[in-house]
Amino acid sequence: MSVEIWCIAEHRGGVLDADTLQLLGAARKLGGTAVAVVCAADPAPLAEQLSTSADKVIALRHEALSDFTPGGYAQAIAPLARERQPGAILMLHSHFLGRDLGPLLASRLETGLISDCTELGWDEGLVGWRLVYRRKLLAKQKAAGAPPHMATCQRGAFMPAEASDSPGEIENLEAAIEADSLGWKVLGFEEAEVGDEDITEAEVIVVGGRGVGDQETFDSMRELTKLLGGALASTRPVVDQGWADRGLQIGSSGKTVRPRLYIGMGVSGAIQHVVGMRESDVIVAVNKDARAPIFEYADYGMVADLKEILQRLVEQLREMRG
Ligand SMILES: Cc1cc2nc3c(=O)[nH]c(=O)nc-3n(C[C@H](O)[C@H](O)[C@H](O)COP(=O)(O)OP(=O)(O)OC[C@H]3O[C@@H](n4cnc5c(N)ncnc54)[C@H](O)[C@@H]3O)c2cc1C
């Protein structure tokens, strides 16, 4: 039997983060047995859901796992990993697992953690590739320390594992957790403010990047969006400038979208944005710089000033709609 690759499932409020399936896809690509590890107070429904795509599921149950805490997850996973020695442990890079659990679990296991990988492989142990120096270089990194080695995977970098007709076996285990020593207590959650459009559901998305230059130009893109019957979205700098709500951000620390049509205006095509949109059916890019990386992903590209294109598109569409 091939080596086990453990993929830590991310979930909240009983809902599985669908990108967890990308970890299972990465595990299969590594040639391993794709094992989903789910920690929860009641992991049964999630375990069942995961079993359709995983070769095996380890469901770790404890009351203290009702909310995610790095200490709780580390106490649940570390002893089992020490005992069973999986070939590698994977988790999603963004959100709480990669950021809070990854470093803690790696230190408990005294092993190496490669973060933000866009590709994984073996070379006398686990190796991972990640973009560095403003994505100008691809670094190949090797996890040092005793196995099992760990890696966090960039969202969108791996194809999700496909569902199988024969569900993976589910192993139910009671986690041994000292609830008093977690060092962390979740007091509650506040939903982030989101705009009126749900960009993950939209079939057409018009995206404003930093190139829009100001709030007024970003807002003026709403008319094009309306005429196309789509949703307005943005890159992260636009959110950081305060021109758009955080719920409109596409990318590794925002949302993943797969619209039928993506129109990016003043978007450079940084990988952190691209991982959230590259599965779009048709990608159109407008950028005044012909060397902008977004053109590598675009089906149609316009090297032009976005304001000019925006105005002409709106005029043409208004005319077409009468
Ligand atoms: C941990 C981490 C997480 C991140 N997460 C995300 C994320 O989720 N989403 C995200 O988007 N980014 C994310 N980023 C930021 C990312 O690295 C890039 O900085 C960002 O995507 C760039 O956004 P942009 O394309 O709008 O801006 P820029 O890279 O500044 O590009 C602006 C583009 O506009 C063009 N332009 C300027 N004026 C015009 C004009 N008048 N007409 C036409 N074109 C014009 C320029 O040629 C340029 O290509 C993250 C970064 C880090 C470190």
What single string gives the DSSP state of each residue in 70-124? HHHHHHHHHHHHHHH--SEEEEESSHHIIIIIHHHHHHHHTB-EEEEESEEEESS
C-alpha 221/C-alpha 311 separation (Å) is 9
4-181 matches 204-321 in fold: yes
Higher pLDDT, 174 or 133: 174
CA 201 to chain centre: 17
Region of poorest pLDDT, from 15-24, 109-118, 136-145? 136-145
What are the structure tokens assigned to 10, written together? 């991310």
Residue 164 has pLDDT above 90, yes or no: no
Check if 111 has its Cβ closer than 6 Å to any atom of ligand 1.
no
**What is the CATH code for 204-321?**
3.40.50.1220
pLDDT for the residue 167? 93
Question: What is the model's pTM?
Answer: 0.62
User: Which of 224, 214, 315, 227 has its CA nearest to residue 266?
Assistant: 214
Mutation choice for ligand 1 from 214, 267, 271, 291, CB with most ligand atoms inside 8 A: 267
Residue type, 199: I
Average pLDDT over residues 58-85: 96
Q: Are 245 and 195 in contact (CB under 8 A)?
A: yes
Average pLDDT over residues 83-104: 91
Q: Which CATH class is domain 4-181?
A: alpha beta
Region of poorest pLDDT, from 28-42, 120-134, 157-171? 120-134
For residue 296, how far is its CA from the centre of ligand 1 (angstroms)?
15
C-alpha 284/C-alpha 12 separation (Å) is 34
Q: Which atom of ligand 1 is nearest to the CA of 251?
A: 8
Write down how long the chain is: 322
For residue 23, how far is its CA from the centre of ligand 1 (angstroms)?
26
For residue 158, how far is its CA from the centre of ligand 1 (angstroms)?
22
Q: Is 39 exposed, middle or buried (0-12, 13-18, 19+ CB in 10 A)?
A: buried
- pLDDT more than 90, % of the chain: 75
Domain positions in the chain:
4-181, 204-321
